[in-house]
Amino acid sequence: MSQPLPAHSAQVPVLALGDVLLVSLQGELHDGMAEQLQQDITQRISTDRMTGVVIDISGVDMVDSFLGRVLAEIASTARLLAARTVLAGMRPAVAITLVELGLTLPGLVTALDVDRAMELLNQRGS
């Protein structure tokens, strides 16, 4: 089970770039952190009127079914709040593992890196 962590380290920073939220995941994501992140993102979208969410997972070595579900949930929640979610920077090894596990994340929009993800959001927004 997840170890108890100090409150400040258990939070994933959520940055705002214009009307887009940028979340950069690093290393392992604990169950508690994932729930907190989900709440943070939905809160920020509704209060700050965000139209897009970019989740950068270039620093993640392993995406399991749990994280896959969390990401899909964030995307569908954001969609209900009229914001689009783009998953950016997945590593080849992670993509292969996910596909082998049968987790193809069908509802998620993906991009090569954060740059491309922003481009994609701006393109569709206009």
Strands 84-88 and 109-111, sheet pairing: parallel
- CB nearer to other proteins: give 12 or 103: 103
Cα dihedral angle (93, 98, 100, 103), rounded to 10 degrees? -170
3-state secondary structure of 95: helix
Q: How far is the CB of 63 from other proteins (least distance, A)?
A: 9
- CB nearer to other proteins: give 30 or 116: 116
Q: How far is the CB of 45 from other proteins (least distance, A)?
A: 22
- What residues line the site for other proteins (CB under 8 A)? 87-88, 90, 92, 94-96, 98-100, 104-106, 110-113, 116-117
Q: How far apart are CA 110 and CA 15, in angstroms?
A: 19
